[in-house]
Amino acid sequence: MDQLAPVKYSPYRVFSAAEWARFRADTPLTLTEDEVARLRSLGDPIDLDEVARIYLAVSRLISAHVESSQLLFRQRQRFLSGNGAGQKTPFIIGIAGSVAVGKSTTARILKELLARWPSSPKVDLVTTDGFLYPNAVLEADGLMRRKGFPESYDVGKILRFLSDIKAGRAKVEAPVYSHFVYDVMPGKTVVVDRPDILIFEGLNVLQVREMPKDGNAIPFVSDFFDISIYIDAEENDIRRWYIERFMSLRETAFREAGSFFHRYSKVSEAEAVAIAEDLWAAINAKNLHENILPTRPRADLILRKSSDHLIDQVALRKL
Ligand SMILES: Nc1ncnc2c1ncn2[C@@H]1O[C@H](COP(=O)(O)OP(=O)(O)O)[C@@H](O)[C@H]1O
Ligand SMILES: CC(C)(COP(=O)(O)O)[C@@H](O)C(=O)NCCC(=O)O
C-alpha cells in the first residue's frame, strides 16, 4: 500500500493581499489621504490603497470579534446579575513585531478605523516603551544595551496596568516614553478611561515567561489580549528600514540639542551608518532572534510586509 503523503498542518490560513482585500466586503473607506499621511511614521509609505486593501478587512474582522465579545459579556451578566447590566470591560488588541517594522503606523491606522465602527467609538492606544525602566535604572543594572529585551521592562507594572483595564477601572494611567530623549518621561502619563478597545503595542507583548517553581503562576501579558497581531517582514528589510530611519532622523530630530542622539548629527555619514548598524546588530537584531520572532506563532493574525513596506500576505489563525 502507498505511504500517505505527509500533510503539513498549520494553524493558519494564508492569504495573498489580493485575496485578503475581498474580505473588506462593503466596509466603507472612512479615512482620507491626509489622515493617513498624518498617521504614518517616518519612512512608512502606507497610503489609502493599502488601507483599503489590507486594513479595512482587518478592522472588519476585529469589529466582529468586539461585537461578539460584547454580546457574550451581556449574556454572561444575565447569569451573574440577572439583568444583563454591568460595566463592560475593554477589548484588548496586542500588536507585536520587531523594532522598525512599523507597529506604530499599524496601531494608529487601526485605532482610527476601529473608532468608526458603532460598537467601538472609543479606542485608546498605549505603547509598551513607557513601561521600560528609566535609563538611570538600566544604567545602574548594566542594561543600557538591553533596551527592549524582557529584563528592561517593568513587567509587574504592565500586568497591573492591564489587569486594572480588564477589571473595568476608570482613569488608569500608563507611563510615557520619549524616543527624542530616549527615556521614560518622569511623571508623564496617558490616562485610559474605560475605552471600548485598548490597543497595546510593543516588541514583547506576546512573550511568555518561565513558570515559577512554587506553583503560583503569574499571568503573561498576552493573557489579557482578546486578539493579537504580529507585524512581520524579512530581517534584511527591517534592518534597512531601521538604518534609513536613523539616517533621516539624523537630518531632523537628532539636530536638536535635546535629542539623546544629538551627537550623531555631527559625525560623518559613514560613521552614522556604522553606529546605526551597530545598534541594529548588537541590540535590535539580537532581540528579534531571541525574544520577538519566537513569539510570532502565538499571534492570531500575522501581517507580512514585502521589501516596499506594504503588506503582501496575511495569515489568519483558523481557531
Ligand atoms: N530615535 C528616534 N527618534 C525619534 N523617533 C523615533 C526614534 N526611533 C523610533 N522613533 C519613532 O518611534 C516609533 C516607534 O518605533 P519602533 O519602536 O521602532 O517601532 P515601529 O517602527 O515598529 O513602530 C516610530 O514612530 C518611530 O518613527
Ligand atoms: C524603545 C524601544 C525598545 C521600543 O520599545 P516598545 O515600544 O516596542 O516597547 C526601541 O525603539 C529601542 O530604543 N531600542 C533600543 C536600541 C535602539 O536605540 O534602537
**Residue 17 Cα to ligand 2 middle (Å):** 29
Using a 6 Å cutoff on CB, does residue 99 contact ligand 2? yes
- Residue 33: predicted pLDDT: 93
Residue-wise pLDDT tens digits, 252-306: 999 999 999 999 999 999 999 999 999 999 999 999 999 999 999 999 999 999 9
Q: Is 101 annotated as a binding residue?
A: yes
* Residue at 5 is within a domain: no
- Residue 116: predicted pLDDT: 94
Using a 6 Å cutoff on CB, does residue 203 contact ligand 2? yes
- Residue 293: predicted pLDDT: 97
* Residue at 211 is within a domain: yes
Q: Which one of 44, 95, 104, 132 would you pick to mutate in the ligand 1 pocket, going by the greatest count of ligand atoms within 8 A of its CB? A: 104
Q: How many domains does the chain have?
A: 1
Ligand nearest to the CA of 252: 1
| DSSP conformation letters of 190-226 | EEE-S-SEEEEE-TTTT---PPPTTS-PPPPGGGG-S
Q: How confident is the model at residue 226 (pLDDT cuts 50, 70, 90)?
A: very high
Residue-wise pLDDT tens digits, 163-216: 999 999 999 999 999 999 999 999 999 999 999 999 999 999 999 987 777 777
Q: Which one of 245, 254, 284, 288 would you pick to mutate in the ligand 1 pocket, going by the greatest count of ligand atoms within 8 A of its CB? A: 245
* Residue at 6 is within a domain: no
Q: How confident is the model at residue 218 (pLDDT cuts 50, 70, 90)?
A: confident
* Residue at 1 is within a domain: no
Instruction: Give the integer Cα–Cα distance in Å for 32 and 30.
Output: 7
Angle at 92 between CA 215 and CA 72, to 5 degrees: 90
Tell me: ipTM over 0.90. yes
From the number of C-beta atoms within 10 Å of its C-beta (0-12, 13-18, 19+), residue 293 rates as middle
* Residue at 3 is within a domain: no
* Residue at 188 is within a domain: yes
- In the structure, which protein residues have their CB atom closer than 6 angstroms to any atom of ligand 1? 41-42, 97, 99-104, 179-180, 249, 253, 261
Instruction: Give the integer Cα–Cα distance in Å for 303 and 241.
Output: 17
Using a 6 Å cutoff on CB, does residue 102 contact ligand 2? no
Q: Is 69 annotated as a binding residue?
A: no
Q: Is 7 annotated as a binding residue?
A: no
* Residue at 109 is within a domain: yes
- Residue 173: predicted pLDDT: 98
* Residue at 172 is within a domain: yes
- Residue 63: predicted pLDDT: 96
Q: Is 81 annotated as a binding residue?
A: no
Question: Domain holding 115: CATH number?
Answer: 3.40.50.300
**Residue 131 Cα to ligand 2 middle (Å):** 11
Is the pLDDT assigned to residue 87 strictly greater than 80? no
Is the pLDDT assigned to residue 124 strictly greater than 80? yes
Is the pLDDT assigned to residue 224 strictly greater than 60? yes
Q: Is 192 annotated as a binding residue?
A: no
Domain range for residue 68?
12-317
Contact 299, 229 (CB under 8 A): yes
Q: Which three cell numbers stand for residue 166?
A: 480588564
The pTM assigned to this predicted structure is 0.95
Q: How confident is the model at residue 82 (pLDDT cuts 50, 70, 90)?
A: low
**Residue 100 Cα to ligand 1 middle (Å):** 6
Nearest CA to ligand 1 atom 10: 179
